[in-house]
């Protein structure tokens, strides 16, 4: 019998009744390993109602007790790390070590959320006027929702619900329908950790569930991570319905390689950041920009054999660099981008399109591809490919190298490799991109900082997790109070605090 994934509402499994299901593949073999129920509007509304019912009591729990739930959740994740990583790898196709990393990065946000009593402290001014004190407090919003992509099924839900729930909100999570098991398991663990029923609800679904969340007046704020077209739609629809929204989108992350960079180190970093997780990371390096033709020639000479030697295989086997892609459809889309690059006149130095693995011929595999002489007017440069494809765009000097990521439609991450501190500092200051690495290939900020790109990589002004996450999931209230009230000085015709 085929496994079926249903919803987790008000602390229990709720079977999907819409009659609509999506396929959950095993990317290693290409088989359909499960079906996932796709929620109707009314089923999604049940999840929202459950979160609404849980809100008054959860928001009244004091912050230190909410922190204790987070602490127990952190311990449960650690105890269940192997199970979570294996579950994640089986549906996503990323190798086990990378799957552990996915869970670990989410866990770090939970560790951050354990400090919520400190993070929620307000400000106080004594004696702002005669007998007048002024203070501010951060209050939770109510029911909030998260809509997440396939590529980090553990980390990204935890970016969102970890902070939101610690702040006192209740949550509706609509995870990717491609890999629903881990988000569901996390909700069970939250309950085991002491989160009351209804505090974290998971509703599986597609556009119908998403649209219900975006338009329901009970939902106060929406966090989204996914592709830019959908992110923009989420942003606009939420804004039209008066909701707070943060919507992270796609990316095209450049690595600038200056002539003084340590090229051996750069090649290692490009291989890891360009091809790790089959390039299905929003912070993957997809464009390398060697500065000067000589650096370009040498870089290609060294990269070519390394890309050819990449070990592609089943995600649960050791010694594999990257596993299959998430679906056949996505793998074929990536391949068609490679076809397009050839048509556009880029030089395909390594062609991984025909890669096939004996015994796993139907798995969603693809070998690493390397393009040289990519130009900035080509589609393979302008658009996100999201696969194991690295493009080399040669620049003649530092200024034209800075201009490339700065002028690109996406502005998620960027890195510079150099031994020159002046150049690195100037680059970090001027480049028009949200997250910058200096001799670091994947500049993902840690949980206590915040994550967010610029331009079409993020719609909305407030980043994910860290102090920005706390700001996103709370609203500030400022109280001006006068004690004692007994001292009278007649009618005030100026604002009392001006006295
Ligand atoms: P996606 O946009 O296809 O899906 C994301 C979510 O939106 C899913 O939950 C999906 O069910 C929902 N969705 C899809 N189509 C929809 C529609 N028409 N209306 C309403 N909802 C819809 O993204 P994906 O393929 O799951 O993830 C990969 C993308 O996510 C890449 O573009 C990647 O760069 C991006 N991403 C960005 C970040 C970031 O922080 N900037 C992080 C991870 C991934």
**Tens-digit pLDDT profile for residues 66-91:** 999 999 999 999 999 999 999 999 99
400 or 495: which leads in pLDDT: 400
Q: Can you tell me the mean pLDDT for 482-499?
A: 76
Q: What percent of the chain has pLDDT over 70?
A: 99
pLDDT at 99 over 90: yes
How far is Cα 262 from Cα 216, in angstroms, rounded to an integer? 53
Query: Two tokens at 382?
Result: 């302008």
- Band the pLDDT of 277: cuts 50, 70, 90: very high
Task: Identify the H or E element spanning 129.
Answer: strand 124-129
Query: Two tokens at 140?
Result: 């939770």
Q: Can you tell me the mean pLDDT for 92-99?
A: 97
pLDDT at 330 over 90: yes
The pLDDT value recorded for residue 492 is 77
Q: What percent of the chain has pLDDT over 90?
A: 96
* 238 classed as catalytic: no
Closest ligand 1 atom to 177 CA: 11
How far is Cα 255 from Cα 294, in angstroms, rounded to an integer? 17
The closest residue, in CA terms, to atom 9 on ligand 1 is 176
The pLDDT value recorded for residue 355 is 96
Domains of the chain (ranges; CATH) run: 3-249+457-479 (3.40.605.10), 253-438 (3.40.309.10)
- Cβ neighbours for 4, distance < 8 A, ≥ 6 positions apart: 16, 21, 34, 35, 36, 37
Q: Can you tell me the mean pLDDT for 102-119?
A: 98
The pLDDT value recorded for residue 248 is 98
The closest residue, in CA terms, to atom 16 on ligand 1 is 207
Closest ligand 1 atom to 251 CA: 34
Query: What is the gyration radius of the CA atoms in the chain, in angstroms?
Result: 25
pLDDT tens for each residue of 180-206: 999 999 999 999 999 999 999 999 999
Q: Can you tell me the mean pLDDT for 119-134?
A: 95
- Cis before 484 (ω within 30): yes
Choice among 2-6, 252-256, 304-308 with the minimum mean pLDDT = 2-6
The partner residues of 125 in beta bridges, in order of sequence, read 134
CB 16 within 8 A of CB 191: no
Pairing verdict, β 454-455 and 410-411: antiparallel
The pLDDT value recorded for residue 2 is 84
| Nearest one of 237, 274, 252 to 441, comparing CA atoms | 274
pLDDT at 499 over 80: no
The closest residue, in CA terms, to atom 42 on ligand 1 is 282
- DSSP secondary structure letters along 196-221: PTTSEEE---SHHHHHHHHH-TTEEE
Ligand 1 pocket mutation, candidates 92, 212, 227, criterion most atoms within 8 A of CB: 227
Residue with tokens 């502005």: 411
- Band the pLDDT of 494: cuts 50, 70, 90: confident
The pLDDT value recorded for residue 487 is 66
Q: Can you tell me the mean pLDDT for 313-328?
A: 96
Q: Which of 114, 167, 282, 369 is the catalytic position?
A: 282
The pLDDT value recorded for residue 23 is 98
**How far does the centroid of ligand 1 lie from the alpha carbon of residue 150, in Å?**
7
- Band the pLDDT of 234: cuts 50, 70, 90: very high
pLDDT at 5 over 80: yes
Q: Can you tell me the mean pLDDT for 287-294?
A: 98
**How far does the centroid of ligand 1 lie from the alpha carbon of residue 135, in Å?**
40
Phi, psi for residue 231 in degrees, rounded to 5: -60, -45
- DSSP secondary structure letters along 40-75: -HHHHHHHHHHHHHHHHHHHHS-HHHHHHHHHHHHH
**How far does the centroid of ligand 1 lie from the alpha carbon of residue 209, in Å?**
14
pLDDT at 218 over 70: yes
- Band the pLDDT of 484: cuts 50, 70, 90: confident
Ligand 1 pocket mutation, candidates 41, 209, 226, 278, criterion most atoms within 8 A of CB: 226
- Across the chain, mean pLDDT equals 97
């Amino acid at each position: 019998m085929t496994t079926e994934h249903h919803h987790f509402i008000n602390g229990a499994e709720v079977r999907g009744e819409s009659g609509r299901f999506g396929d959950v593949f095993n990317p290693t073999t290409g088989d359909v390993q499960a079906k996932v129920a796709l929620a109707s509007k009314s089923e999604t509304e049940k999840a929202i109602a459950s979160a609404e019912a849980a809100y008054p009591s959860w928001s009244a729990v004091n912050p230190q007790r909410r922190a204790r739930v987070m602490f127990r959740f952190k311990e449960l994740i650690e105890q269940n790390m192997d199970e979570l990583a294996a579950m994640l790898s089986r549906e996503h196709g990323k190798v086990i070590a990378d799957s552990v990393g996915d869970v670990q990065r989410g866990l770090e946000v939970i560790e951050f959320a354990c400090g919520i009593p400190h993070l929620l402290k307000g400000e106080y001014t004594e004696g702002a006027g005669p007998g007048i004190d002024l203070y501010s407090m951060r209050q939770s919003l109510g029911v909030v929702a998260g809509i997440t992509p396939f590529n980090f099924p553990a980390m990204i839900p935890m970016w969102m619900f970890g902070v939101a729930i610690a702040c006192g909100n209740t949550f509706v999570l609509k995870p990717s329908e491609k890999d629903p098991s881990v988000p569901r398991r996390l909700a069970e663990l939250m309950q085991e950790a002491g989160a009351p029923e209804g505090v974290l609800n998971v509703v599986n679904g597609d556009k119908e569930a998403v649209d219900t969340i975006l338009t329901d007046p009970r939902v106060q704020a929406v966090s989204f991570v996914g592709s830019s077209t959908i992110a923009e739609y989420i942003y606009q629809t939420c804004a039209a319905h008066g909701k707070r929204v943060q919507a992270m989108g796609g990316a095209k992350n450049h690595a600038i390689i200056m002539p003084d960079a340590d090229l051996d180190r750069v090649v290692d970093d490009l291989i890891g950041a360009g091809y790790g997780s089959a390039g299905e990371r929003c912070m993957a390096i997809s464009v390398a920009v060697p500065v000067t033709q000589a650096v370009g020639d040498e870089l290609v000479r060294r990269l070519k054999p390394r890309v050819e030697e990449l070990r592609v295989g089943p995600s649960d086997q050791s010694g594999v660099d990257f596993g299959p892609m998430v679906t056949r459809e996505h793998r074929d889309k990536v391949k068609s981008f490679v076809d397009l690059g050839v048509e556009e006149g880029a030089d395909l130095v390594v062609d991984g399109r025909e890669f096939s693995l004996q015994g796993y011929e139907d798995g969603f595999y693809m070998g690493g591809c390397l393009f040289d002489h990519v130009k900035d007017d080509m589609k393979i440069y302008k658009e996100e490919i999201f696969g194991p494809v690295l493009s080399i765009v040669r620049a003649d000097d530092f200024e034209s190298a800075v201009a490339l990521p700065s002028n690109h439609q996406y502005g998620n991450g960027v890195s510079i490799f150099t031994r020159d501190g002046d150049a690195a500092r100037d680059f970090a200051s001027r480049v028009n991109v949200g997250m910058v690495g200096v001799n670091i290939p994947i500049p993902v900020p840690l949980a206590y900082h915040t994550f967010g790109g610029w331009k079409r990589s993020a719609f909305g002004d407030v980043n994910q997790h860290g102090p920005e996450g706390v700001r996103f999931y709370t609203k500030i209230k400022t109280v001006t109070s006068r004690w004692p009230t007994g001292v009278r000085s007649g009618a005030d015709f100026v604002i009392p605090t001006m006295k």
